[in-house]
């Protein structure tokens, strides 16, 4: 019989032979084998919706194999403490995925258990690509916490029939300096813990999500951005916002300022708004007549708290409706480093490192 391949959880030494989570934790969780429709259990005796979905879906088995490989890679790239954090994240995700992908729990969406699991597996694979990765001088871990609660007759939201909460944040693995330890503390988010459909202040069901974008990382700086979204069930659309965290780590951790990025005496305050506007205006679909868009670009371009340093250049993003209306909000706008280099205080910013691209 083929060994299960889904997301093995090492409880002891790192190189101990992997044991399927379903045996280790005693949970009826997702697992599939390397073979097309094989499994670590007898598919003829499959009883639970999850077992039946796995036995009947070659695609789900393939995603399971990929997920298992990526999880193992991340665990081996992390310290013992970092691996423990990732295991806790994995358990949180597994509970969430099995909870929201049970038949009859997604009314009105017409999605099978296998289709739901495929979606959640795909999301988790993307997340694991950010765990145990070296960027510049640091190895980064990704921490995720999930929660979900039934909403009974409510079939709106990201997972019909549920209200959901998800938070994610980066951590430098095995920090060795006071500055990197302080950076970790600054990024850390609380586990949302158990939630209910009435947790919102007005009693309405609300889905909340906080994710992040890791931008440039150098020997003495890190640029990252939290990306938040919320959706009140039954409303036409959700809301979203962005919060940039730019930090210098040497000689001690502190918030990065405009004078750290741009040299004294350079005309960045007048140049940046024009550079960002020109990039935006190059888009054939850009609305160049709406004054609120130009105002939003001008204000964000001049505000260091909105600058995300990326390998491609300096980027600004806009919160929902910030440009005057929900539909006309511009997407992220990036000014290439080549246009900024004459004003930079140090060439290190234009030579920054980025997270490696995820492998297919």
List, for residues 313-352, the tens digit of each pLDDT value: 999 999 999 988 887 889 999 999 999 999 999 999 988 8
| C-alpha closest to that of 3 among 50, 84, 48, 64 | 64
Cα of first residue to Cα of last residue in the chain, in angstroms, is 28
- Confidence class for position 10, pLDDT limits 50, 70, 90: very low
Q: How far apart are CA 226 and CA 245, in angstroms?
A: 8
SS3 66: helix
Mean pLDDT confidence for 191-200:
71
At 33 the pLDDT is 28
Cβ-contact 226, 312 below 8 angstroms = no
**26-40, 297-311, 343-357 — most confident range:** 297-311
Q: Where in the chain is the domain with CATH 3.90.640?
A: 260-343
Architecture label for domain 260-343: Alpha-Beta Complex (3.90)
SS3 133: strand
| C-alpha closest to that of 122 among 162, 197, 62 | 62
> Which stretch of 8-22, 255-269, 312-326 has the lowest confidence by average pLDDT?
8-22
Helices (H), the chain: 21-25, 49-55, 58-77, 80-100, 113-128, 178-187, 258-261, 268-281, 291-301, 337-340
Cβ-contact 29, 98 below 8 angstroms = yes
Architecture label for domain 135-256: 2-Layer Sandwich (3.30)
Cβ atoms within 10 A of the Cβ of 93, count? 21
- Confidence class for position 40, pLDDT limits 50, 70, 90: very low
> Which stretch of 10-24, 127-141, 219-233, 288-302 has the lowest confidence by average pLDDT?
10-24
């Amino acid at each position: 019989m083929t060994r299960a391949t889904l997301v093995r959880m090492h409880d002891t030494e790192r190189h101990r032979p992997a044991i399927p989570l379903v045996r280790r934790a005693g949970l009826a969780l997702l697992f599939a084998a390397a073979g097309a429709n094989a499994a670590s259990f007898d598919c003829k005796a499959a009883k639970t919706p999850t077992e039946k979905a796995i036995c009947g879906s070659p695609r789900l088995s393939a995603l399971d194999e990929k997920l298992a490989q990526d999880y193992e890679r991340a665990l081996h790239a992390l310290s013992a403490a970092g691996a423990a954090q990732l295991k806790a994240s994995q358990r949180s995700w597994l509970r969430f995925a099995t909870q929201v992908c049970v038949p009859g729990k997604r009314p009105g969406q017409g999605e099978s258990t296998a289709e739901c699991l495929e979606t959640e597996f795909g999301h988790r694979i993307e997340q694991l690509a950010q765990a145990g990765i070296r960027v510049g001088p640091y190895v980064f871990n990704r921490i995720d916490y999930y929660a979900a609660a039934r909403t009974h007759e409510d079939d709106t939201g990201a997972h019909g029939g549920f209200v959901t909460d998800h938070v994610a944040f980066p951590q430098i693995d095995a920090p060795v300096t006071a500055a990197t330890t302080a950076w970790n503390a600054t990024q850390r988010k609380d586990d949302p813990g158990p939630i209910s459909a009435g947790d919102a202040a007005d009693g309405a069901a609300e889905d909340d999500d906080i994710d992040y974008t890791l931008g440039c990382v150098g020997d003495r700086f890190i640029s990252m951005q939290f990306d938040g979204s919320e959706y009140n069930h039954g409303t036409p659309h959700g809301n979203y916002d962005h919060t940039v965290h730019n930090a210098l780590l040497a000689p001690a951790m502190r918030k990065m300022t405009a004078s750290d990025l741009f040299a004294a005496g350079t005309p960045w305050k007048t140049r940046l708004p024009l550079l960002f506007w020109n990039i935006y205006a190059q888009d054939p679909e850009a609305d160049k007549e709406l004054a609120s868009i130009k105002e939003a670009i001008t204000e964000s371009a001049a505000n260091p708290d909105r600058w995300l340093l990326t390998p491609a250049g300096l980027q600004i993003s806009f919160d929902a409706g910030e440009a005057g209306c929900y539909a006309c909000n511009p997407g992220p706008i990036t000014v290439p480093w080549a246009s900024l280099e004459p004003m930079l205080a140090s060439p290190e910013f234009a030579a920054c490192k980025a997270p490696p691209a995820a492998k297919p």
